[in-house]
Amino acid sequence: MKIAFFDAKEYDKSSFDRINNGRYDITYFDVLLNKDTVVLAKGFDAVCAFVNDKIDKDVLDKLNEYNIHVLALRCAGYNNVDVKAAYKKVHILTVPGYAPEAIAEHAFALINSLTRHIHKAYNRVRDFNFSLNGLTGFNLSGKTIGVIGTGKIGKVMINIANGYGMKVLAYDLFPNHNLNCTYVSLDELYKESDIITLHAPLTSDNYHLINSDAISKMKDGVMIINTSRGGLIDSHALFDGLKSKKIGAAGLDVYEEESDVFFIDKSLEGINDDILSLLISMPNVIVTSHQAYLTTEALEEIAKVTIDNLDKGLNDDYSPNEVCYMCKNKNDLNACLKARKKSCW
């Protein structure tokens, strides 16, 4: 069976080659999957894609035309797939929870760097500048963190925050009352939190959840951390909030216009995105290039689950990792086919 693997990087190749061990004939393409590149998939049995591949109706129709009915995403989120257009054409499989610790620990790395100005101290000391002026931080212990989205990653965030002795507020559409946190309304979370961290998936309902209205309800000097999806934050509103000092700091592992920039070495040509350039130039902002997931453990788990998803998808077997546009109704047995028939279609 032949797999067309898009947006392939060296670290993907090494983890997939190790786990695949010759099982599938994988061809690695450096390019993103989109309507211009989908032709590369012709003649393959399945496609493997990642977060910034644009899997819209045009791409899905082409895959269907090429008789490709399995698309294995090697990531958790599937906001980049037109799941409605995929229905009854291409089975979409994801890797829902490969290493929530990796993402939560990265989110906390951003929090720790920003609270203690580690990024500034690192540069200073390299210049033999040992002055501490301007590096005064604040203790996390006793501060309030607001966690939006308390699924697999949010849960680890809550545990780590409790370890720091923080007060943990949370908001989720489906609260999990077994967690050591206090669920509040979004407005209350905005009002009370010193740090707000996003761990909800990007959906059509929460696009630009953090906009100027939400920011106006937050504490002065709030820190915002986003390791989830860029589209959750209106970047212009974030920039305005930072400029006016309403927002004290931001740690961003994702950015709404990241697809042309992140994962790519742009050091020679530069970037054309003014807002991203301005954000990167701010001393109280740390941007990482969607690397929260990038640990050895996570890469191995992603490769394992993706190969298993391909096995299931290509053999028409049940996979709990299949998603479709009806999946949000998965508790409604009448609405969700997978709940009854073990397959989305």
Residues forming the site for ligand NAI (CB under 6 A) = 76-77, 97, 100, 103, 148-154, 171-174, 199-201, 203, 205-206, 227-229, 253-254, 290, 292-293
Nearer to ligand NAI, 69 or 74 (CB): 74
3-state secondary structure of 341: helix
Instruction: Tell me how far, at minimum, the Cβ of 203 lies from ligand NAI, in Å.
Output: 6
Q: What tokens appear for 77 in the block?
A: 């989120």
Residue 290 a catalytic site member: yes
Instruction: Tell me how far, at minimum, the Cβ of 228 lies from ligand NAI, in Å.
Output: 4
User: What is the Cα–Cα distance from 250 to 280, expressed in whole angstroms?
Assistant: 10
Instruction: Tell me how far, at minimum, the Cβ of 174 lies from ligand NAI, in Å.
Output: 4
174, burial (CB in 10 Å: exposed 0-12, middle 13-18, buried 19+) = exposed
Nearer to ligand NAI, 3 or 292 (CB): 292
Nearer to ligand NAI, 86 or 147 (CB): 147
Instruction: Tell me how far, at minimum, the Cβ of 66 lies from ligand NAI, in Å.
Output: 28
User: What is the Cα–Cα distance from 132 to 115, expressed in whole angstroms?
Assistant: 14
Rg of the chain over CA atoms, in angstroms? 21
φ and ψ of 5, to 5 deg: -110, 110
Total number of residues shown for the chain? 345
Q: What is the DSSP string of 158-224?
A: HHHHHHTT-EEEEE-SS--TTSSSEE--HHHHHHH-SEEEE-SPP-TTTTT-B-HHHHHTSPTTEEE
Q: What tokens appear for 108 in the block?
A: 């906390």
Instruction: Tell me how far, at minimum, the Cβ of 213 lies from ligand NAI, in Å.
Output: 15
Nearer to ligand NAI, 37 or 203 (CB): 203
Nearer to ligand NAI, 201 or 263 (CB): 201
- Whether residue 93 contacts residue 73, with contact meaning beta carbons closer than 8 Å, is answered with yes
Residue 258 a catalytic site member: yes
Nearer to ligand NAI, 24 or 190 (CB): 190
User: Of 69, 91, 199, 258, which is the active-site residue?
Assistant: 258
Closest CA to 146 of 114, 203, 194, 202: 194
Instruction: Tell me how far, at minimum, the Cβ of 288 lies from ligand NAI, in Å.
Output: 9
State the residue number with the nearest CB to ligand NAI.
151
User: Of 229, 256, 301, 322, which is the active-site residue?
Assistant: 229
User: Of 74, 117, 199, 290, which is the active-site residue?
Assistant: 290
Catalytic residues: 229, 258, 290
